[in-house]
A = this chain, B = another copy of it.
């Protein structure tokens, strides 16, 4: 483990009393103690705030030398250093960390190496980094930051306080809302995958829609969000996408839905609000998933889901020889079930049928 951001050393810090007031915590400890940074419990020193949000990390609490720990009331019983008792320790920690380790905003203005089309409308408070390319009629609103090497094609719109970290590609007519963050390598608004087979060759189906992204959306590195064929692909407010995710054309992702890395969602599928998809989950095309659905990692969603809940679909690894034996039996499973039915009929002749018939 290495120390976190060395720049935290320059923070003037804040007292525990001020922290408690500002973030609505109950303080159990000396309000005059000053902290300047956050740290993991096992690495924390007296100037640092730690947190416990996962019982798995409770074991580090008894030995921590942190100046204070953010935790919930139940966990606070086990805390020997100052406690900041919060209803939602992880969210409170996130806010405290953001306050103690603020990101320096980029300086307003455009780097001389950026290529900005004359017809683009760029707010004077926006920052456009080196080697960016901004196309015709693009609108860039207040305090937008466009990191180095990013490309924003014609007629795109970037809302207030949105940030393209670096080397992001935004396609024609894409609209991104306010306070969004897009990480390096993400491609928003490339053509969807539309091909019609005719006379032995594929005819490309023009992708005439675009992408509409709400506010407070975050998109991970090298994730791709394709433009719609007709009509737009839509990410509603607060959607969170990790890295290397594929969102196909005309997908709609409901507000505050989060997807872990390498998820793939096929064309025209509609996903509800407050869903969570585990890493590598795959979702078929033209289906609907209702609100509040949680999908496990590596799962395959082949049909619509209309009932909120937790769904799994991945078999775990086994030692290779054992897995191979079981996999061979899987390939015989229908036959096995029929054998069992036949046995049941012979052994329990009076019964009508088994549920597995």
Q: Does A64 make an interface contact (CB < 8 A)? A: no
Q: How many residues of A contact B (CB 8 A)?
A: 142
Q: Which of B53, B190, B266 is within 8 Å of A183, CB to CB? A: B190
Q: A242-B193, A300-B298, A339-B354 are in contact. Are A319 and B310 (CB under 8 A)?
A: yes
Interface segment, one of A14-22, A76-84, A119-127, A165-173: A165-173
A197 to B331 Cα, complex, angstroms: 35
**Total copies of this chain within the assembly:** 3
Interface string of A319-357 (1 = CB under 8 A from B): 110111111111111111101100110111000001110
Interface string of A238-252 (1 = CB under 8 A from B): 101011101010000
Interface string of A19-42 (1 = CB under 8 A from B): 000000000000000000011100
A1 to B212 Cα, complex, angstroms: 10
Chain B residues near A162 (CB-CB < 8 A): none
Residue of B nearest to A244 (CB): B246
Task: Report yes or no: B166 in contact with A166, Cβ–Cβ below 8 A.
Answer: no
A113 to B299 Cα, complex, angstroms: 46
A303 to B327 Cα, complex, angstroms: 14
A193 to B259 Cα, complex, angstroms: 10
Question: In whole Å, how far is A170's beta carbon from the nearest beta carbon of chain B?
Answer: 10
Task: Report yes or no: B302 in contact with A314, Cβ–Cβ below 8 A.
Answer: yes
Task: Report yes or no: A334 in contact with B343, Cβ–Cβ below 8 A.
Answer: no
Task: Report yes or no: B280 in contact with A4, Cβ–Cβ below 8 A.
Answer: no
Question: In whole Å, how far is A195's beta carbon from the nearest beta carbon of chain B?
Answer: 5
Q: Does A151 make an interface contact (CB < 8 A)? A: yes
Residue of B nearest to A210 (CB): B2
Task: Report yes or no: B173 in contact with A5, Cβ–Cβ below 8 A.
Answer: yes
Q: Which of B8, B194, B315, B347 is within 8 Å of A313, CB to CB? A: B315
Q: A197-B91, A313-B316, A343-B344 are in contact. Are A264 and B280 (CB under 8 A)?
A: yes
Task: Report yes or no: B315 in contact with A311, Cβ–Cβ below 8 A.
Answer: no
Q: Which 5 A-B pairs have the closest CB atoms?
A: A91-B198, A313-B317, A91-B196, A325-B334, A1-B231
User: Which residues does A use to contact B, with CB under 8 Å?
Assistant: 1-2, 4-6, 8, 38-40, 43, 53, 56, 88, 90-91, 93-95, 97-98, 101, 103, 111, 113, 115, 129-131, 133, 147-149, 151, 153, 155, 165-167, 169, 171, 173, 181, 183-185, 187, 190-191, 193-198, 200-206, 208-210, 212, 216, 218, 220-222, 224, 226, 230-232, 238, 240, 242-244, 246, 248, 256, 258, 260-262, 264, 266, 279-280, 282, 284, 286, 295-303, 305, 309-320, 322-337, 339-340, 343-344, 346-348, 354-356
Listed by A's residue number, 13 A-B pairs whose Cβ atoms lie within 8 Å are A4-B209, A193-B240, A195-B240, A246-B262, A262-B262, A266-B297, A279-B282, A311-B320, A312-B323, A312-B327, A322-B331, A326-B330, A326-B331
